[in-house]
């Protein structure tokens, strides 16, 4: 197989991963090759059992084109979603279906010198337990908090690996090429490729978590800034509350609107005798369980839980008003861990926009709830691997005949 043919086949695999079904003509246009060459590559991939015919496209008046899709088991991706406290790992096929259960590991990142080694161990355990050969894994994608320079493969906030870039450390430790990205940017990538921001030219994706992250889609692309550090929404200095933020400053949005703050206020309310369903659920074994308890109680109509989320939502809305004034986005997408609270967020955010945003600007920015929810970061981690599928430091051909990075 020539180097050019390998490249064309990798491009076809990548495009089919993101689009699911495409015609020969679609692929010819997307990867900028002639129609006969695209047909030749598709025929070879069919002979190699990489792709299958999936029927005809809807009629537009002429001959209906034949559609192609990837076989689900030709390659796999390891998706890792990290936050400051917990790490989740899953292996997905080419249809984004989970082929392993999601492995959740309690892995605090702050002041934890062994975090990187523990991460490698957990990934290896997941791969070994799956029975999937490493040569059939296209790569490992990892979303993580902190100042992440994806090009250099470094996280300047967590997971210190000394002089060795973090991506090389994990690649060496697992034997699978690894890519990293800031968690909020990955959530935005998931929404852009598969979720509420699909086909949108500009959208702000809010990651509702232990902080308030932001992924930005501008001009139809993920915007990461000069060094990849864009989107530190959590640290907008909106308050004069003299509350210390995790960044070392005071008055940041995070100090009044993060899920950690919501949980803390819930526990304080219970201690002060608030009447609530939560007094049966809190304190919980860990903050993750406490967070789900608050969201669950709000979904059941618990007044105190709804108040807590509404207060946080209003404060987030104040920050969103700034984004709308600066960037004039088409949509605000609420995603990540906290988005499972759904429409409970929309009213207080809209109220804040009514009070703090120029009406003409706010009227054209819809507020949408992610359907990917808590799994958005895992979905984005898988997408990160396929976004980088053409970045081949070295390309091998697996036993199945599939080009893979190593």
Q: Could you tell me if residue 193 is inside a domain?
A: no
Confidence at residue 393, expressed as pLDDT on a 0 to 100 scale = 47
Are 14 and 35 found together in one domain? yes
The pTM of this model reads: 0.91
Q: Could you tell me if residue 192 is inside a domain?
A: no
Q: Could you tell me if residue 115 is inside a domain?
A: yes
> CA-CA distance, 262 to 239, in Å (whole number)?
16
Domain with 272 in it: what CATH number? Answer: 3.30.420.40
Q: Could you tell me if residue 61 is inside a domain?
A: yes
What is the chain's percent helix, strand, coil content, to nearest 5?
45, 20, 35
Q: Could you tell me if residue 56 is inside a domain?
A: yes
Cα three-residue angle 100-104-109, rounded to 5 degrees: 135
Q: Could you tell me if residue 98 is inside a domain?
A: yes
Contact 33, 52 (CB under 8 A): no
> CA-CA distance, 37 to 28, in Å (whole number)?
8
Q: Could you tell me if residue 191 is inside a domain?
A: no
Are 52 and 138 found together in one domain? no
Contact 158, 164 (CB under 8 A): no
Size of the chain in residues = 406
Residue 273 three-state SS: coil
Q: Which of 198, 205, 186 is nearest to 88 (CA)?
A: 186
User: Half-sphere exposure (CA, 13 Å, Cβ side) for 12?
Assistant: 34
- Residue 86 pairs in a beta bridge with 106
Q: Could you tell me if residue 132 is inside a domain?
A: yes
Are 220 and 300 found together in one domain? yes
Are 310 and 171 found together in one domain? no
Domain with 47 in it: what CATH number? Answer: 1.10.10.10
pLDDT by 10s per residue, the chain, length 406: 568 888 999 999 999 999 999 999 999 999 999 999 999 999 999 999 999 999 988 866 678 889 999 999 999 999 999 999 999 999 999 999 999 999 999 999 999 999 999 999 999 999 999 999 999 999 999 999 999 999 999 999 999 999 999 999 999 999 999 999 999 999 999 999 999 999 899 999 999 999 999 999 999 999 998 888 999 999 999 999 999 998 899 999 999 999 999 999 999 999 999 999 999 889 888 999 999 999 999 999 999 999 999 999 999 999 999 999 999 999 999 999 999 999 999 999 999 999 999 999 999 899 999 999 999 999 999 999 999 998 754 444 455 556 555 4
Of 70, 86, 119, the one marking the end of a domain is 70
Are 36 and 182 found together in one domain? no
For the chain, the domain total comes to 3
Residue 377 three-state SS: helix
Give, rounded to a whole angstrom, the gap between the first and last alpha carbons of the chain. 18
Confidence at residue 283, expressed as pLDDT on a 0 to 100 scale = 87
Are 119 and 261 found together in one domain? no
Of 21, 47, 70, the one marking the end of a domain is 70
Domain enclosing residue 180, as ranges: 76-186+378-405
Are 215 and 352 found together in one domain? yes
């Amino acid at each position: 197989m020539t180097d050019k043919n390998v490249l064309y086949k990798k491009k076809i695999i990548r495009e089919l991963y993101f689009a699911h079904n495409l015609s020969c003509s679609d692929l010819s246009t997307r990867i900028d090759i002639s129609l006969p060459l695209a047909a030749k590559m598709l025929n070879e991939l069919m002979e190699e059992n990489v792709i299958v015919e999936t029927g005809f496209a809807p009629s537009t008046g002429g001959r209906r084109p034949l559609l192609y899709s990837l076989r689900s088991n030709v390659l796999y991706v390891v998706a890792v979603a990290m936050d400051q406290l917990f790490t989740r790992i899953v292996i997905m096929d080419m249809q984004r279906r989970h082929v392993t259960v999601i492995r959740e590991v309690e892995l605090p990142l702050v002041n934890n010198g062994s975090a990187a080694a523990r991460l490698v161990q957990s990934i290896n355990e997941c791969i070994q337990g799956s029975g999937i050969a490493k040569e059939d894994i296209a790569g490992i994608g990892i979303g993580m908090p902190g100042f992440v320079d994806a090009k250099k493969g470094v996280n300047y906030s967590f997971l210190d690996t000394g002089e060795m870039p973090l991506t090389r450390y994990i690649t060496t430790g697992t034997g699978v090429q690894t890519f990293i990205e800031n968690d909020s940017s990955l959530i935005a990538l998931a929404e852009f490729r598969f979720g509420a921001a699909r086909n949108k030219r500009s959208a702000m994706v809010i990651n509702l978590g232990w902080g308030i992250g932001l992924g930005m889609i501008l001009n139809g692309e993920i915007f990461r800034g000069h060094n990849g550090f864009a989107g530190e929404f959590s640290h907008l200095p909106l308050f004069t509350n003299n509350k210390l933020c995790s960044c070392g400053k005071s008055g940041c949005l995070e100090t009044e609107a993060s899920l950690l703050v919501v949980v803390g206020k819930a526990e304080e309310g219970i201690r002060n005798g608030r009447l609530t369903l939560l007094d049966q659920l809190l304190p919980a074994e860990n903050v993750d369980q406490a967070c789900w308890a608050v969201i669950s109680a709000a979904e059941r109509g618990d007044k105190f839980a709804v108040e807590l989320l509404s207060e946080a939502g209003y404060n987030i809305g104040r920050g969103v008003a700034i984004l709308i004034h600066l960037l004039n986005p088409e949509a605000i997408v609420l995603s990540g861990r906290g988005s499972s609270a759904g429409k409970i967020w929309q009213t207080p955010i809209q109220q804040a926009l009514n009070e703090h945003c120029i009406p003409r600007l706010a009227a054209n920015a819809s507020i949408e709830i992610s359907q990917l929810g808590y799994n958005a970061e895992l979905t984005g981690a898988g997408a990160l691997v396929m976004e980088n599928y053409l970045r081949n430091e070295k390309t091998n051909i697996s036993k199945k005949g599939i080009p893979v990075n190593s």
